[in-house]
């Protein structure tokens, strides 16, 4: 079973969208499990203090390393020993805007393993010593800053969990998605065939599966070239790719 652990100051926010739709059903079926650990439980003193002012001055508060490490150690604790041992299987991830950007490849790596431990930060961040001492991997959802790591953690987990066997009803719906082959996904159409003067591309109604596949690949290339030239450059065999065909059906 894939196990996700979220260390957070707002456990009431979980499971959020992870508890609905196919992910919620998969959890109920035992395909994956979620554990939430309240960081406040490990806080110090009467008020369970988890943070303090930044060394060297500055605005905001910083999560204390002793509090953070205690929470991580409680998850990593070996049930047969009285001491905490480093986790050898599940990575410990700290959600941080300065971390490596999360992508589909990382989602696949997580899905192929036994799970992940996610430390959801708050305030100005986490004391660097805790990150180093507990060998945390810093991962970012993107080039922007959130109020905390919980939303980012949920998004990353959704990306990984939906790849687990048995979660998606049709595995073919995953293999053709954006980023799976280095390209953005082609456009989709359904009923009605004509809507507000816009037609479904005739090639999709032709019944010719070879032509349909060619059209979809061509549209994927064109969309990627237009919207994500960085992805297209990596996909293309040529150092400086030229604009691909639009993929429109010929007259």
In this structure, what are the phi and psi dihedrals at residue 92, rounded to the nearest 5 degrees? Answer: -100, 115
Q: Is 113 one of the annotated binding-site residues?
A: no
Distance separating alpha carbons of residues 51 and 88, to the nearest angstrom? 28
Distance separating alpha carbons of residues 122 and 143, to the nearest angstrom? 17
What 54-61 contacts at long range (C-beta under 8 Å, 24+ apart), as own/partner pairs, is 54/124, 58/124, 59/124, 60/123, 60/124, 61/123, 61/124
Q: Is 247 one of the annotated binding-site residues?
A: no
Q: Is 146 one of the annotated binding-site residues?
A: yes
Q: Is 16 one of the annotated binding-site residues?
A: no
Distance separating alpha carbons of residues 186 and 222, to the nearest angstrom? 9
CB-CB contact of 122 with 7 (8 Å): no
Q: Is 81 one of the annotated binding-site residues?
A: no
- Residue stretches of the annotated binding site: 121, 141-146
- Residue stretches of the annotated binding site for S-adenosyl-L-methionine: 121, 141-146
């Amino acid at each position: 079973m894939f196990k996700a652990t979220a260390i957070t100051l707002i456990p009431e926010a979980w499971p959020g969208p992870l508890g609905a739709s196919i992910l919620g059903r998969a959890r109920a079926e035992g395909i994956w499990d979620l554990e939430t650990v309240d960081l406040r439980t490990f806080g110090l003193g009467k008020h369970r203090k988890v943070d303090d002012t930044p060394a060297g001055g500055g605005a905001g508060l910083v999560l204390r390393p002793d509090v953070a490490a205690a929470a991580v150690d409680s998850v990593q604790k070996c049930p047969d020993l009285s001491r905490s041992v480093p986790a050898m299987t599940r990575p410990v991830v700290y959600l941080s805007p300065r971390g490596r950007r999360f992508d589909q490849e990382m989602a696949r790596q997580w899905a192929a393993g036994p799970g992940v431990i996610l430390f959801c930060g708050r305030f100005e961040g986490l004391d660097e010593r805790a990150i180093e001492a507990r060998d945390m991997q810093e991962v970012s959802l993107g080039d922007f800053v959130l109020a905390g790591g919980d939303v980012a953690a949920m998004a990353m987990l959704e990306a990984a969990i939906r790849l687990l066997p048995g979660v998606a009803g049709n595995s073919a719906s995953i293999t053709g998605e954006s980023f799976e082959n280095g390209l953005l996904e082609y456009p989709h159409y359904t009923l009605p065939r004509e809507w507000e003067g816009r037609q479904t591309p005739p090639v999709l109604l032709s019944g010719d599966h070879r032509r349909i596949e060619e059209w979809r690949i061509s549209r994927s290339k064109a969309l990627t070239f237009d919207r994500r030239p960085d992805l297209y450059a990596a996909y293309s065999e040529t150092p400086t790719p030229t604009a691909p065909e639009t993929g429109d059906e010929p007259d």
